[in-house]
Structure 1
């Protein structure tokens, strides 16, 4: 029933002018702010801790964050109205040529992004711009939400693989074929992740983007979608960088993951109201023994430089 409810809501939103859709999103965002006390409190608490701001300042940022989430929600449901012919009316992609240059090297591209702005429309825009786009996704807790999101992702031309499943074999094949493989790299990675300082606090961080970049010698191209003041979007494509193989695989994977994490952090600090602060980014407790081993590995690597 949830799937069909959201499909019906999607059809209704597709009938509305874009300005009215955004106004609806703002209303839903305000409503969500008031009814989602658990998420609101977690967001403000994590903002205060990571940004070193007062509760009043955190609450102001949280209101803007929920406003953006409301707009994202209605825009995602309006995805069937987003087409190859009209996406540029809503989304500007800066430096698309950086992707094209990276793809020309013939090793595929690892796309690095995060839950900033409307990341779902980022995928749609890049696919409509002609990039052969695949994505590694984390399934939603509700399968019906995943079903609808994947339906819209495939509608715009994306290829989808689920994290933590045998589908990752297909993701590897996608890179081997020279496709762009996208990762949202700002989620808790569980016990298998690398503990890296993120917004001032150690967080379990996924190594997937680094592992794929190493294995296939793929350039890493960071890109982040930001909502502009007029409500529309700008996709900022950053300069590519590469896995640096020194022969110490564990340390090399760690170092490039630190670089990716620092970049994501800098974008969040510059646009704090556009990141999902209530996600459980620091859910996995710090493994002190693992960190001690990492510290010794870093010291050992330094002796050979």
Structure 2
């Protein structure tokens, strides 16, 4: 039933003029801002703590965020209508040559993205512009929804790996083929992550980018999508690559690359605060608890 509903909504959205779709999404975002009180309060509290915003500034910024989210939801449903011809008018790249030059090294590319603006359209724009993109599925609470989203991703040319025992193997094969491996750089890394400062707090951060950059000596390229000021379409920001610096101290080297990655994410969030998901559970893994356990272990 849910799958049929999602397919129907997607069919309707993909047959709706894009400008009208944005207006519908704007209304949806305003509605979501009113009814999602828990997420709204968490987002406002987080942005005030991290960026020092006043209550008024936080309220105004988070309201814009919810509007952007409403539009993004409609855009995701619109994905079947995307193709190589219309994507160039909807998503523009500032420095695509950085990506092409990195791919020419034939070592694969670790592409660092984050939960900013419509990250699903980032993947779609890359694939439809001819970039060989592989990515790991982000599991959703509902399996039907996950399957639906993976169907949309594959329909625009992305290679998707499901999380599980074969995840690392699939990613390694993609890198060996010289593909771009899309990794989300602003997720909570859990107890296996590396703690680095992020927006004023210590945050457990995934070590996947460091692992693949070290193993394949591949360039790491931060790449972000942000919504254009008028709400219609997106701009992709491609930053200069950085590389894993192997000094022989793996723990320190992993930390240094993860820190560079996190600092890049910080910069884009501060530049486009109404595009980032401030209500996500980014700091779920307790820093003090982990450090206390490590201290106890070293004393035994």
> What is the TM-score with the length of structure 2 in the denominator?
0.95
Output one character per residue of 1:105-126: Cα deviation in whole Å (capped at 9) or x when no partner. Answer: 1101000010111110010111
Equivalent pairs counted in the alignment come to 293
- CA positional deviation for 1:55: 1.9
In the other structure, the counterpart of 1:20 is: 20
Aligned to 1:272: 273
Alpha carbons 1:161, 1:168 under 8 Å: kept: no
Partner of 2:134: 134
Separation in 2, partners of 1:107, 1:146 = 30
Report the counterpart of residue 248 of structure 2 in structure 1: 247
Q: Note the residue ranges of structure 1 that are not aligned, 5 or more in a row.
A: 294-305
Corresponding residue for residue 148 of structure 1: 148
In the other structure, the counterpart of 2:208 is: 208
> Within the alignment, does 1:284 sit opposite 2:282 as a pair?
no
Distance 1:108 1:292 in 2: 38
| Correspondence 1:188 to 2:188 | yes
Structure 1 window deviating more from structure 2 (209-218 vs 136-145): it is: 136-145
CA RMSD in angstroms, aligned pairs only: 1.4
Give, in angstroms, the shift of residue 216 of structure 1.
0.7
Deviation, structure 1 residue 292? 6.9
How far 1:289 moved relative to its partner?
A: 3.7
Secondary structure (helix, strand or coil) at the match of 1:236 reads strand
Return the alpha-carbon distance in structure 1 between the equivalents of residues 294 and 74 of structure 2. Answer: 42
SS of the equivalent of 1:278 reads: coil
- Higher mean C-alpha deviation, range 216-225 or range 133-142: 133-142
Q: Is this contact kept in 2: 1:109–1:220, CA < 8 A?
A: yes
Cα 1:101–1:222 change in 2 (3 A) is: same
Counterparts of 1:137 and 1:213 in 2: how far apart (Å)? 20
Residue pair 1:137, 1:184 contacting (<8 A) in 2 also: no
Q: Distance in 2 between matches of 1:76 and 1:210?
A: 30
Query: Aligned to 2:161, what secondary structure does the other structure show?
Result: strand
Contact 2:137/2:150, CA 8 A, preserved across alignment = no
Shift of 1:166: 2.1
Q: Secondary structure of 2:57's partner?
A: helix
SS at match of 1:120: helix
Distance 1:264 1:124 in 2: 21
**What CA distance in whole angstroms lies between the structure 2 residues aligned with 1:14 and 1:242?**
40
From the superposition, tell whether residues 18 and 104 of structure 1 become closer, same or farther in structure 2 (CA, over 3 Å): same
Q: What is the CA–CA distance in structure 2 between the aligned matches of 1:249 and 1:289, rounded to whole Å?
A: 22
> Whole-Å Cα distance in 1 between the matches of residues 4 and 47 of structure 2?
36
SS in 2 for 1:218: coil
CA distance in 1, matches of 2:5, 2:220: 38
Q: CA deviation at 1:163?
A: 3.5
Determine whether 1:109 maps to 2:109: yes
The answer as to 2:282 corresponding to 1:263 is no
Contact preservation (8 Å) 1:195, 1:291: no
1:162 to partner: Cα distance: 2.8
Give distance in 2, aligned partners of 1:227 and 1:104. Answer: 29
Cα pair 1:25 1:72 within 8 Å, conserved: yes
Give unmatched runs, 5+ long, in structure 2. none
1:49-92 per-residue CA deviation (whole Å, 9 max, x = no partner) reads 10111222111111000000001100010001110111011010
Instruction: Identify the residue that residue 52 of structure 2 maps to in structure 1.
Output: 52
Match of 1:298 in 2: none
Distance between the aligned counterparts of 2:178 and 2:164, measured in 1? 22
